[in-house]
Structure 1
Amino acid sequence: MTDATTSVAAAQAVRAAAARLLTAAAAGEPCAPVRDLIGADDVHAAYAVQELVTQARVAAGTAVTGRKIGLTSEAVQRQLGVDQPDFGFLFSDMAYLGGDVVPVGAVLQPRVEAEIAFTLASDLAEGRLDEAQVRAAIGHAIPALEICGSRISGWDIRFGDTVADNASAGAYVLGPVRARLDQFEPRVAQMTMSIDGVEVSSGTGAACVGDPINAVVWLAQKARELGEPLRAGQVVLSGALGPMRPVAPGQTVRAEISGLGSVTFTLDEPNDKEQV
């Protein structure tokens, strides 16, 4: 097989994987993993699929509102056989405010985790993109709940699957508190998360690759490397502070993050929602 033939076959596989995921999302029915098409750990192919899915969503009228960082837990990285996080895009139709009702059909196979979100006050496109620059670019920290979702049946994922599937992004909920980094230190934050009043997860800022700021540094560098730098006004979900848990229709999820307060949502039947 020539190099040209191999390249054509690889491009066809990427398009087929994107089509499979887009069809699953449109139908509301999970699909088979895409690693049979692109491999389980081909980072380049997985992000190429993610790019096609993102382009399709933007073409359909959905705006990019930021990024999410996944695989920030060392345990999850070991499970998937990788040594770095991944990222996906956030879109305007994923965004909810604390107290909102999130429709049951908004996220396939929903699982929830508590995170610290950051809003960017300036671009992260030039310079060293080190910790000092990232801290200076952050406008505020916000308590957040990420509702992860998988278009892949039974969450049967490997690294290539989750990257291709937009890092298993589903929806996100931002709380009411906004804190500057001179008022709040993410690394030492304490988190508890409950479902219907029962604690189901806990952790600290240090559980997110040592410091949520470290995750944003990684993302800023990776996003620029791939040609889509982080921009002012975007939201960044920095990664889970504790274990992810499944959530069922009718349940209410609440997270408390020290220094930031609480954020909550209910997964239930559709209502009009207020966009962030």
Structure 2
Amino acid sequence: MIGHKVGLTSVAMQEQMQIHEPDSGVVLASMVAPSGSLLRAADLMIPRIETEIAFRRGRDLPEPADLHTVRAAVAEVFLAFEVLDTVFTSWDITLVDSIADNAACARVIRGTPVAFHPAWDLRAVQITATADGAVAATGQGRDILGDPLKALVWLTHRLPAQDIALRAEGTVLAGSVHASLPLTPGTDFCATSTRLPGVRLRVL
């Protein structure tokens, strides 16, 4: 396990899934690939894709933590695609289903990390996702709980009940800024932002 994902942190995702509170899952090393990777849609069942802001921690986080403590603990920030998939036969699932299914986390495509400055206002980051060059979705950092760093705050309140500590170097996906999109074979997905390097995934 190299990190965690926090899901359902935007209104767009909560409305799409009809689940009106966040959930979380774990990220395994085997799930992660760099930007520009190829992914076979046939290796998954009913996959979808999201664009997220993600973080790498530079120090341990106490549980629970406030926004100031979380901001000081973040070392790097980057764009990422999260590929969702589920063992259920459709996306008509409940919160309990999602948690049981690792919050539907199947793959993570990492963009290039950049050093995080605590003075940055990530709420203002504008993100555009494209499919084969056409705009497929847009969003802002503030679409994630009002501030993407609040996803880490939420996680520090959730994990103590599971006896899991947020150690330095771990990754956290903060959640999608837009409703998830079908992961269509033959598609070239890209995402760009006003502050962070882009991320790309080619789907076979």
TM range (shorter): over 0.9
Q: Does the 8 A contact of 2:19 with 2:94 survive in 1?
A: no
Instruction: Choose which of 113, 133, 152 in structure 1 pairs with 2:88.
Output: 152
Matches within 5 A, 1:146-225: 146-182=82-118, 184-225=120-161
Over the residues paired in the alignment, what is the CA RMSD in angstroms? Answer: 1.8
Query: Counterpart amino acid of 2:4?
Result: R
Distance 1:79 1:143, change over 3 A: closer
Report the equivalent of 2:190.
Answer: 254
Query: Counterpart amino acid of 1:104?
Result: A
Report the equivalent of 1:98.
Answer: 35
Distance 1:245 1:79, change over 3 A: closer
Matches within 5 A, 1:120-139: 120-126=57-63, 128-139=64-75
Query: Counterpart amino acid of 1:224?
Result: P
How far apart are the structure 2 equivalents of 1:79 and 1:104?
Answer: 22
How far apart are the structure 2 equivalents of 1:78 and 1:247?
Answer: 19
Residue 265 (structure 1) aligned with residue 204 (structure 2): no
- Partner of 2:123, secondary structure, is helix
Cα shift at 1:79: 6.3
Cα shift at 1:80: 5.7
Distance 1:95 1:160, change over 3 A: same
Name whichever structure is richer in strand by fraction.
2
- Partner of 2:90, secondary structure, is helix
Instruction: Choose which of 36, 45, 66 in structure 1 pairs with 2:3.
Output: 66
Structure possessing the higher relative contact order (Cα contacts under 8 Å, 6 or more residues apart): 2
Report the equivalent of 1:272.
Answer: none
- Partner of 2:25, secondary structure, is strand
TM-score (norm 1): 0.69
How far apart are the structure 2 equivalents of 1:243 and 1:80?
Answer: 9
Give the total of aligned pairs.
204
Q: Does the 8 A contact of 1:88 with 1:166 survive in 2?
A: yes
Structure 2: gaps of 5 or more residues: none
- Partner of 1:230, secondary structure, is coil
Report the equivalent of 1:111.
Answer: 48
Matches within 5 A, 1:19-30: none
Report the equivalent of 1:88.
Answer: 25
How far apart are the structure 1 equivalents of 2:144 and 2:166?
Answer: 20
Query: Counterpart amino acid of 1:112?
Result: I
1:188-227 superposed Cα distances (whole Å, 9 cap, x missing partner) = 1001001111111001011111010111100122112321
Query: Counterpart amino acid of 1:87?
Result: S
How far apart are the structure 2 equivalents of 1:189 and 1:106?
Answer: 33
How far apart are the structure 1 equivalents of 2:52 and 2:15?
Answer: 21
Q: Does the 8 A contact of 1:250 with 1:266 survive in 2?
A: yes
How far apart are the structure 2 equivalents of 1:121 and 1:80?
Answer: 33
